[in-house]
Amino acid sequence: MHRPTPFGKYILLERISVGGMAEVFKAKSFGVEGFARSVAIKRILPHLAEDPRFVEMFINEAKVAVQLSHANVAQVYELGRFESDHYIAMEYVAGKDLLSMHQYTKKTGDRLPMQLAAYIGSRVAEGLGYAHRKTGNDGRPLGIIHRDISPQNVLISYEGAVKLIDFGIAKAAIHSSHQTQAGVLKGKYGYMSPEQITGKPLDQRSDIFALGTVLHEMLTGERLFCGDNDFLTLEKVRAAKADPPSRHNPDVPPQLDQIILRALAREPSERYQTATQFADDLGRFLHMSGAGLSSKALKSWMRTRFAGDIANEEGKDEQFARLTLTAEGDLLEVAQNEEDATALWDPLSEDMLPEGMHFEKEEPKPRVVSIVRRDPQPDPQPEPELDESLTAPSPVSSMNLPPQSLDLPQRTTPSPPVVPDRTAPTARSAFGHDDPTGIGIARRDPAEIATTTTMPPKRGIGRREIVSILVTLLLAGAGGIGVYFAFARDGGPESGRVRLEVSPADGLKVTLDGAAHPGDTSPIDLGELPTGPHELRIERAGHETVTRTIEVGAGEDRQISIALEARSDSPGLLKLKIEPAGGEARVTVGGEAVPQAKWGPGVEVPSGAPVEIAVDRRGFRPLRQSVTLRPGEEQTAALTLEPTPASMLIDSNPPATVYIDGKRVGRTSLTVNDLDPTVEHAVRLEARGFEPYETKVSFTGESRFQQLNVELER
């Protein structure tokens, strides 16, 4: 489907995903008094719609999911049928699934922060725990097992919400009569539990193993159980051998390693027995680590990374907002004119729009067009004959305006070109003035016209005048001849000198009277030039070309200053200075990785729009900063990284009171956060009947975590 389509009481706006059994559309539903909202419509694939097994599975999914109402489970609104199509209407989540986020981090190297990964895992575990313990109206447990916990089925909204979706192969006690056939595997191989691939009876602990797999991959950025083929993948799952995430991501502390490895235990009896226990341990870890994360932090991360996708979706929503359904179920778009209405579709003619499409049009507003004079006309005069070789094509010749409306200039002498002011917010005419019509024609104030009237250029003394002077001097006497030769030998009345001051000063291409000048860096000396007009052209990459007629007077020595204007589409140059120096850091500008060799010289960035700079360095807080450069502007962004606060896990036998830098901080076992990583800390443990224990702890390099396990002596 390439365009919005009516579907019963919904409009299917665009297809957002397709799987093995169904396809999902973003849709629009309607209520009374103009009420409308976005929903997701899951529709069984056409070639499966006649297969009773798939239809039954589809209906079972709806029966399971419609009973679930939790902040971390996507809400199902209804199961319906339109014509021959079964569908499920559910909550629409504007955001990304974990698979898309994994692909983003692979492409950019911008790994999901460890704390955010743990937060997402805790939210999924909360929703999963709710589904596992859900009871029916009779109070009996429904016995729901999801059986397909995978990155595709965890959605992260742009607002920071975490949603578990797709109970398409979920197994519940209410459907226990429809058992999976022997030898048939459902789900994605790399996210199954060992007991699931061996055909053993399943319980909720199978979902816990799958969620542990997903969380391990979020922390490491690598697939956990993935072989060269399906058989090898299944063998890896069966063996259930998993490295601690910290082996691939040094930011992961030992406490989080232990949580993940417990969820991935091969034997179900060694795992968390409930998803709620899993969620509690993740929440406790986040609290003890001082992260204290909420959906606000996740929202910030999502909106920073996917700003372009968010803007694109908001733009579509503005178009979709104009769509509604008639009482007959036809698609209706309210628009000011046909051009506005058809802008939503690729087709260019009304007969190519969806069947039943209507337009509501308003009368077009009249457009006011005025023609500007190039020169003032104080008194009516007979129109002179025009020299066609000197007359430029009229900018209004293709507008089919009536002849009497054209007020053409009577002069044929072309005016000096005007460089348009591209910083002005309005359109500009061909003559460099405000153009409210946007078609190259503008109004001009009579006073402005009077001040820009083209006058004949002043000429210096030429050879003809000198000959006349010579004849006069000859008549006056031989003394005049000496004056003439002295005057002509110095070249005074025949030439003048011109120098250029151009900004920006480098990378210039100067053309004088059609010939290239060797100078490319300002100031430029054009040398001795004959008197009279000369055509000057200055070009520079990323800037508007300046063409100007300069008049050289006899004996003149003048300097001309010209400021080149950057083109509106020319990029800016962004240079980076990152402190403290040293250490490896990942830097992206506008989502593109920038190697350290280019930090100083700079990188080109689009002008006129915010560009995000992201700096990630181990041992320092992630830094995000937005800059906006003007066309052609060069700017140095000074970025100072703040060290990540250090933490220390302290345990002892027996339990003891802990002092750090002379201050009592609690009793073991405890984690101390917000320590300054740049200084050495004095640690003292005291327990009655035991010798005090003292040591010094420092955080070397970029490490921000230390662990002490102390056995006190009596």
Count of C-beta atoms within a 10 Å radius of residue 658: 24
> Would strands 358-360 and 634-640 be described as parallel, antiparallel, or unpaired?
unpaired
Cβ–Cβ < 8 Å for 559, 593: no
Cβ–Cβ < 8 Å for 166, 143: no
Distance of CA 477 to the CA centre of its chain: 85
Q: Where are the alpha helices (DSSP H) in 31-157?
A: 52-65, 98-108, 114-132
As to burial, measured by CB atoms within 10 angstroms (0-12 exposed, 13-18 middle, 19+ buried), residue 689 is exposed
Cβ–Cβ < 8 Å for 586, 617: yes
Could you write out the DSSP letters of every residue in 72-95?
A: TBPPEEEEEEETTEEEEEEE---E
Residue type at 461? I
Which residues fall within 8 angstroms of residue 703, CB to CB, at 6 or more apart? 619
CA-based radius of gyration for the chain:
39
Residue 29, beta-bridge partner list: 10, 37
Residues composing the chain: 714
Q: 3-class secondary structure for 346-373?
A: CCCCHHHCCCCCEEECCCCCCCCCCCCC
Catalytic residue among 51, 97, 110, 148: 148
Cβ–Cβ < 8 Å for 195, 240: no
| CA 614 – CA 109 distance, rounded (Å) | 12
As to burial, measured by CB atoms within 10 angstroms (0-12 exposed, 13-18 middle, 19+ buried), residue 242 is buried
Cβ–Cβ < 8 Å for 34, 350: no
Could you write out the DSSP letters of every residue in 437-466?
A: TSSS-----HHHHHHT---PPP----HHHH
User: Distances from the Cα of 128 to the Cαs of 68, 167, 254, 372, 659, in angstroms?
Assistant: 10, 11, 25, 72, 41
| CA 209 – CA 192 distance, rounded (Å) | 8
| CA 6 – CA 28 distance, rounded (Å) | 10
| CA 641 – CA 622 distance, rounded (Å) | 8
As to burial, measured by CB atoms within 10 angstroms (0-12 exposed, 13-18 middle, 19+ buried), residue 438 is exposed
As to burial, measured by CB atoms within 10 angstroms (0-12 exposed, 13-18 middle, 19+ buried), residue 238 is middle
**Token code pair at residue 54:** 């798939």
Residue type at 184? V
| CA 142 – CA 172 distance, rounded (Å) | 6
Three-state secondary structure call for residue 584: coil
Residue 639, beta-bridge partner list: 578
Count of C-beta atoms within a 10 Å radius of residue 662: 7
Q: Please confirm, yes or no, whether 148 is among the known catalytic residues.
A: yes
Residues serving a catalytic function are 148
